[in-house]
């Protein structure tokens, strides 16, 4: 693992235990293009694990709500036991 990656992982770990890592409820609106962008970038293997979980949950909901727009996404298993997203139709 590169030194830069180690620093990034250390910062991520610190954020998860600091006081700003508290539960919050969110409401947002977005169009399909914005949601695909969010899922693609925040569901990627190099995204922070916490936001990746959010992106995967958004994808799960959107696949049920609009399978014709979000059905091309697939889940990939990661070495740490988590999942990430992939699609052949990037940046729609």
Catalytically annotated residue among 7, 33, 42, 52: 42
Q: What is the pLDDT of residues 12-63, one digit of tens each?
A: 777 777 766 567 777 889 999 999 999 999 999 999 898 999 999 999 999 9
> Is CATH 3.30.930.10 the right assignment for the domain spanning 31-92?
no
Q: Using CA atoms, how far apart are residues 12 and 55, in angstroms rounded to an integer?
A: 17
Q: Is the pLDDT of residue 80 over 90?
A: no
pLDDT of residue 55: 96
Indicate the domain borders of the chain. Answer: 31-92
The phi-psi region of residue 49 (left if phi > 0; otherwise alpha if psi is between -120 and 50; otherwise beta) is alpha
pLDDT of residue 20: 66
| Residues 49, 61 contacting (CB under 8 angstroms) | no
pLDDT of residue 17: 73
Query: With a threshold of 0.85, does the pTM exceed it?
Result: no
If one compares 2 and 49, the residue with the highest pLDDT of the two is 49
Q: Is 4 one of the annotated active-site residues of the chain?
A: no
């Amino acid at each position: 693992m590169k030194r830069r990656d180690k620093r990034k992982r250390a910062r991520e770990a610190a954020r998860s235990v600091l006081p700003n890592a508290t539960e919050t409820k969110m409401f947002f609106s977005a169009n399909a293009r914005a949601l695909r962008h969010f899922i693609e970038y925040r569901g990627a293997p190099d995204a922070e694990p916490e936001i990746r979980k959010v992106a995967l949950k958004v994808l799960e909901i959107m696949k049920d709500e609009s399978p014709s727009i979000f059905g091309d996404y697939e889940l990939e298993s990661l070495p740490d036991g988590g999942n990430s997203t992939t699609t052949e139709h990037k940046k729609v």
